[in-house]
Amino acid sequence: MTGRVTLLGAGPGDPELLTLLGKRRLAEADVILYDRLVNPSLLAFSKSTAQRVDVGKLPHFHKVKQTAINQLLVDYAQAGQRVVRLKAGDPYVFGRGGEEAQFLTANHVPCEVVSGLTSAITGLAAVGIPITHRDYASSFHVITGHHQSGGRQLDWDNIAHQEGTLVFLMGMAALNDICTQLQANGRAATTPVAIIQWATQWRQRLVTGTLADIEARVIAAKIGAPALIVVGDVVKLSRELQPTQPLQGQHVLLPYSAHSRLAPALQDQGATVDFFDREVPAAIDFTLPDLSQVATLVVTDGRAYDYFLKRLLAAGQDQRSLAHLRIVAANSAVAKHLRRQGLLADDVTATPQTAHALVIGEAGRMPTGGLATYRLTTVATPITWELAEFQAIIFPSSQSVHDFHQDLHGAQLSLIAMGPRVQAALQERGATAQLISTNREDILAFLKGVKQHGQDGNSIS
């Protein structure tokens, strides 16, 4: 049975700019072939069992040749796999998606294209440059910065005389040639130019100038590829319209949670949020004890009770079987969890009397005679950012500290502990929290004061 290939546009980099269909296709994929410029954070949308193949290309060096990529797509699909070819921006905007689609069609492989937001438009908007404006430009032209196939040069006379905004993609290696040719073919040396590096990402940077001086400004600012080159009067609007969100340029790491409220709060303030994997719970096959011989049920964590309840239901029983038991919760969080399940704890204590008691919890953390209802297993994500790329890590629970498997000792970034228990868990690992608070506003205020690394998010005019 032949699988399916999706040519998926990853957009300019911000994971929240991925389309809904794109996110679903990533979650369904058995195999993902991704490019160098794709934000690694997007791979968090894929399932842990998906095979991830780096086919990234560098300027003047193809890690995997295009012919080999084409054949890989066919081979995986013919093996019955659901394949995603994840490409920066849009597959059909200088992404060679058309060539891949032709090859797949010729080999009778089902293929679909899921468009992505092209950086030629979204990258400009991210720094306050509208690609068109009634007072400055009524059209725009997107041009590849590479030479055309066969070594043919771009038609500079035609390009230079186009009305409106010019956007060059993949053109940083040819910046000098672009500026020289535009001036030689009639564009004024004073024409405004913007260079936007890593558009829409936390490391986004902007340099503005003119055709005459932009190259010197780029060298002084140490900006390189990947970057957009924007030529035209709309560049002037960046001073007026550039977003100035308070956490712009901040890169924050959180434990993954499908229901996090903190992550969108940070993103709405301009921060980029990435996630580290939590350990994944898995049920343990256990035998229900004779509850008539038990006087007390001690619940060490809410997840343990959930698995216990499922086993109870599978045995044809429900919570009425617990009516004669004294229910003890190990802490207030467990008590709240039980309450949501319709069960009120008789006591909340970390050191319950365990005589004639059934203690349930996680494997490896149980006292002698306790009943483990589940265990945690680590799911490793092969692509991660280096810790040096972050300004802060937020730990909402002591379990999240336990789940974090990189070395925290001597880490050169801020650690935020959401509560004293979390602070204690960090101290056990030899790390110190710079902020201890469960208040979201305290966290936002702290991050606003964190000194940013380098010049991420800076605008240089």
- Compute the distance between CA of residue 435 and CA of residue 416 in angstroms, rounded to an integer: 5
The sign of the CA dihedral 89, 94, 98, 103 is negative
Which listed residue (14, 23, 30, 35) is catalytic? 35
- What distance lies between CA 353 and its chain's CA centroid? 45
- Compute the distance between CA of residue 23 and CA of residue 449 in angstroms, rounded to an integer: 33
- Compute the distance between CA of residue 440 and CA of residue 446 in angstroms, rounded to an integer: 10
Contact 339, 302 (CB under 8 A): no
The Cα angle at residue 165 between residues 162 and 170, in degrees rounded to 5: 100
End-to-end CA distance of the chain: 57
Q: What letter does residue 64 receive in the DSSP assignment?
A: S
Which listed residue (23, 54, 57, 306) is catalytic? 57
Nearest 5°: phi and psi at 294? -115, 140
- Compute the distance between CA of residue 354 and CA of residue 360 in angstroms, rounded to an integer: 11
- What distance lies between CA 69 and its chain's CA centroid? 24
Q: Is 35 a catalytic residue?
A: yes
Contact 109, 221 (CB under 8 A): no
- Say which amino acid occupies 174: A
Catalytic residue list = 35, 57
